[in-house]
């Protein structure tokens, strides 16, 4: 055994004043008497006595000397040389990916807890000249302890670290660690994890010597690797799911579905070893919003499932994703072409020689045509050059006063719409009443009106498209896109199926949006400030259902849920790797080939504290006994009775 600070042993000299204090202390026994007249001679004798006394056996003195000894030894920092995994300038990469939540370690602890124990053992073997940087490797690697040789800081960082529920970005983590190697000598990298490096295995030029400490014992895991729904127009919604067995044994599992929180089905399946089982169903109910799938092991199952993070998945119904529009026109190629270019519209062309079909559509586009019975469909309407008046509007006389065209530019429906170069031959002005906003006007009246009436949205273009050069202008597709967007506002949230934990979600905002609030699966919220037309939410760290609320002041103008799942085969495949490949080299588990130093001053300090508590207890006991028996000793018989 050696000492890092041997000069601290000089502190042992403090034992001398402690002993002297006990030798100089006067020991008098207090006695209560009826008078001091007869005791004055004793008082004079005591005053003449010397303060030096023979050192007697005293438990308090012994305990105080032992406390001093332990404190001096702790300050001297004794250590012993022990085998170490690595020394020098160490970059420790701590795997915090979803697979590290597996509970296949002894006593049912997670892999991450075992990884932290291994990391702490490396800290315990650091020499005074060694330093360590700790990087927590998750979807976004982070430095949780910058380069230091302070064991207190390193241990605190390791103890505070938590695993994630996402796939680890090892490329970014190794790049971050390699960048820290600049201007460092004796650089070493230590990877603690279950070996799933993914694309990072081919990363070239990793500096220094790489050591690997594998974590994990079993490959038994069942996972939901896909969950999606689809609803085509006129057809019931369909389900697609996939269950994977990453273990070496066939496994039975119960696959349950919950629709909007209610149990819908539960079926038992046998999943072959190292294989997947697809599940397709067209029996989902109409109009559902949230679908939740889960895996449960049967009571008689002999195959364990060590990772629960991938045993549950969610999906949000996306509907058809298209707005069905019926175009009634005698022949307008400009309209047909622009409708084909709009991805949110599924257009159908009707026969103007026949009545409207019985099938219901979301939007009716009537170009120079109206139903013969005069009854307009009970749906959203886009009326172009209406031939006669209806209950919604009154048609005026034809006019050629088409000059001085003005656009209501502060209206969102007119965003980027410019009629400055548009020429119109003639039109028939329309009086739409209070329900309609005049968005484009000319000298002779309104050219374009829009508004809501009787629960439906209506747009009226008062001129024939062919009597203008509007279809030849860039503003034509812009105008139609804005109008269709108003008829059917695009969803602010359009999360792709299978949005993974740690992924990013773009949020497209309406014009009037002022802020966005995201509610996480655990009930907490995140507020996003609107400073552009598209925001990105990048805090999807939990699997589950999120809710996005688009606000305009205090009013919620849109609210939509979206699902976040693990869906990471590299994480669900929890089979531990006995070796890893990095920069073309195969790295096997590292033996403790280096020489480190293990200090045990914390144990000495702890012993000193415990003995201090014992010394305090003994002292308090003596005081209590002295107080308890004082009247019995001090009061002579027959006095003060």
Residue 444 vs residues 405, 409, 460, 620: alpha-carbon distances, Å: 10, 19, 16, 105
Q: Is the model's pLDDT at 43 over the cut of 80?
A: no
Q: Which range among 17-31, 189-203, 286-300 shows the weakest confidence by mean pLDDT?
A: 17-31
| Whole-number average pLDDT of the chain | 82
Task: Say if CB 469 and CB 423 are below 8 A apart.
Answer: yes
Task: Say if CB 444 and CB 431 are below 8 A apart.
Answer: no
258 and 134 inside one domain = no
CATH of the domain at 460: 3.40.50.880
Provide the pLDDT for residue 639.
38
| Higher local confidence (pLDDT), 454 or 363 | 363
Q: Please, is 402 exposed, middle or buried when counting C-beta atoms within 10 Å of its C-beta (0-12, 13-18, 19+)? A: buried
Last residue of a domain, one of 458, 487, 516: 487
Last residue of a domain, one of 316, 337, 355: 316
Q: Which of 226, 223, 241, 222 minimizes the C-alpha distance to 282?
A: 241
Query: CA 386 to CA 194: how far, in whole Å?
Result: 70
Give one word for 445, left, alpha or beta, with left for phi > 0 and alpha for psi -120 to 50: left
Q: Is the model's pLDDT at 420 over the cut of 60?
A: yes
Structurally, how many domains does the chain consist of? 5
CATH of the domain at 174: 3.40.50.410
467 and 350 inside one domain = yes
Query: CA 466 to CA 486: how far, in whole Å?
Result: 24
| Higher local confidence (pLDDT), 318 or 253 | 253
Q: Please, is 220 exposed, middle or buried when counting C-beta atoms within 10 Å of its C-beta (0-12, 13-18, 19+)? A: buried
Q: Which of 381, 383, 409 minimizes the C-alpha distance to 511?
A: 409
In a domain, 273, yes or no: yes
pLDDT digits over 97-146, tens only? 999 999 999 888 999 999 999 999 888 888 878 889 999 999 999 999 99
Q: In which band, very low, low, confident or very high, does the pLDDT at 79 lie, cut at 50, 70 and 90?
A: low
In a domain, 500, yes or no: no
In a domain, 493, yes or no: no
457 and 386 inside one domain = yes
357 and 469 inside one domain = yes
330 and 467 inside one domain = yes
Mean pLDDT of 504-517: 80
Please state the pTM of the whole predicted model.
Answer: 0.63
In a domain, 587, yes or no: yes
CB atoms within 10 A of CB 635: 15
473 and 330 inside one domain = yes
Provide the pLDDT for residue 599.
63
Query: CA 118 to CA 108: how far, in whole Å?
Result: 16
351 and 434 inside one domain = yes
In a domain, 639, yes or no: no
338 and 198 inside one domain = no
pLDDT digits over 539-550, tens only? 888 999 999 888
Task: Say if CB 176 and CB 153 are below 8 A apart.
Answer: no
47 and 166 inside one domain = no
| Higher local confidence (pLDDT), 26 or 585 | 585
Q: Which of 472, 480, 486 minimizes the C-alpha distance to 384?
A: 480
405 and 430 inside one domain = yes
In a domain, 174, yes or no: yes
240 and 308 inside one domain = yes
Query: CA 342 to CA 379: how far, in whole Å?
Result: 20
Task: Say if CB 369 and CB 387 are below 8 A apart.
Answer: yes
Last residue of a domain, one of 316, 340, 375: 316
SS (H, E, C) 327-362: EECCCCHHHHHHHHHCCCEEEEECCCCCCCCCCCCC
| Higher local confidence (pLDDT), 555 or 86 | 555
In a domain, 260, yes or no: yes
Provide the pLDDT for residue 222.
96
66 and 110 inside one domain = no
What domain range includes position 235? 222-316
Q: Which of 305, 107, 341 minimizes the C-alpha distance to 224?
A: 305
């Amino acid at each position: 055994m050696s000492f890092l600070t041997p000069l601290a042993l000089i502190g042992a000299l403090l034992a001398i004043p402690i002993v002297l204090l006990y030798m100089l202390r006067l020991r008098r026994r207090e006695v209560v008497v009826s008078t001091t007249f007869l005791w004055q001679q004793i008082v004079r004798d005591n005053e003449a006595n010397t303060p030096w006394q023979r050192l007697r056996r005293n438990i308090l003195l012994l305990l105080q000397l032992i406390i001093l000894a332990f404190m001096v030894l702790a300050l001297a920092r004794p250590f012993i040389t022990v085998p170490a995994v690595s020394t020098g300038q160490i970059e420790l990469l701590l795997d915090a990916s979803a697979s590290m939540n597996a509970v296949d370690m002894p006593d049912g602890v997670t892999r991450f807890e075992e990884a932290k124990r291994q990391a702490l053992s490396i800290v315990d073997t650091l020499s005074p000249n060694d330093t360590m940087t700790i990087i927590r490797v998750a979807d976004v690697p982070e430095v949780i302890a910058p380069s230091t040789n302070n064991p207190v800081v390193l241990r605190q960082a390791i103890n505070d670290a938590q695993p994630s529920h996402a796939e680890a970005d090892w490329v970014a983590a190794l790049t971050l660690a390699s960048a820290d190697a600049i201007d460092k000598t004796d650089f070493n990298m230590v990877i603690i994890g279950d070996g799933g490096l993914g694309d990072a295995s081919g990363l070239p030029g990793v500096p220094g010597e790489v050591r690997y400490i594998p974590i994990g014992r079993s490959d038994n895991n069942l996972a939901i690797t896909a969950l999606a729904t689809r609803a085509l127009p006129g057809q019931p919604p369909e389900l697609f799911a996939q269950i994977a067995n990453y273990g070496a044994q066939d496994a039975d599992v119960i696959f349950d579905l919950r629709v909007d929180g209610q149990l819908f089905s539960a079926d038992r399946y046998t999943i072959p070893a190292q294989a997947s089982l697809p599940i397709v169903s067209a029996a989902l109910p109409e109009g559902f919003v949230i679908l939740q799938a889960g895996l449960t092991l049967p009571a008689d199952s002999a195959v364990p499932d060590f990772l629960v993070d991938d045993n549950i998945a969610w999906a949000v119904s996306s509907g058809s994703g298209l707005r069905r529009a019926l175009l009634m026109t005698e022949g307008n190629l400009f309209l047909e072409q622009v409708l084909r270019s709009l991805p949110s519209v599924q257009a159908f062309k009707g026969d103007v020689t026949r009545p409207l079909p019985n099938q219901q559509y979301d939007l009716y586009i009537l170009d120079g045509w109206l139903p013969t019975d005069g009854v307009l469909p009970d749906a959203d309407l886009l009326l172009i050059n209406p031939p006669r008046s209806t209950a919604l509007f009154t048609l005026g006389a034809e006019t050629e006063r088409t000059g001085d065209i003005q656009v209501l530019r502060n209206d969102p429906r007119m965003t980027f719409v410019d009629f400055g170069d548009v020429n119109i031959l003639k039109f028939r002005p329309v009086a739409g009443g209070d329900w309609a906003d005049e968005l484009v006007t000319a000298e002779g009246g309104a050219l374009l009106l829009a508004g809501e009436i009787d629960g439906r949205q209506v747009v009226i273009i008062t001129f024939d498209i062919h009597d203008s050069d509007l279809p030849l202008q860039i503003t034509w597709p812009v105008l139609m896109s804005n109008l269709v967007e108003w008829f059917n506002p695009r969803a602010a949230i359009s999360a792709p199926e299978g949005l993974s934990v740690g992924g990013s979600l773009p949020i497209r905002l309406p014009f009037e949006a002022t802020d966005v609030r995201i509610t996480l699966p655990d009930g907490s919220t995140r507020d996003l400030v609107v400073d552009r037309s598209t925001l990105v939410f990048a805090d999807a760290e939990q699997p589950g259902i999120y809710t996005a609320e688009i606000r305009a002041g205090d009013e919620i103008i849109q609210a939509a849920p979206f699902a976040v799942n693990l869906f990471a085969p590299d994480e669900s495949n929890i089979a531990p790797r006995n070796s890893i490949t990095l920069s073309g080299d195969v790295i096997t588990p590292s033996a403790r080939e280096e020489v480190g130093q293990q200090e045990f001053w914390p144990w000495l300090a702890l012993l000193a504290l415990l003995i201090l508590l014992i010394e305090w207890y003994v002292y308090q006991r003596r005081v209590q006994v002295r107080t308890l028996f004082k009247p019995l000793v001090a009061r002579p018989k027959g006095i003060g009775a």
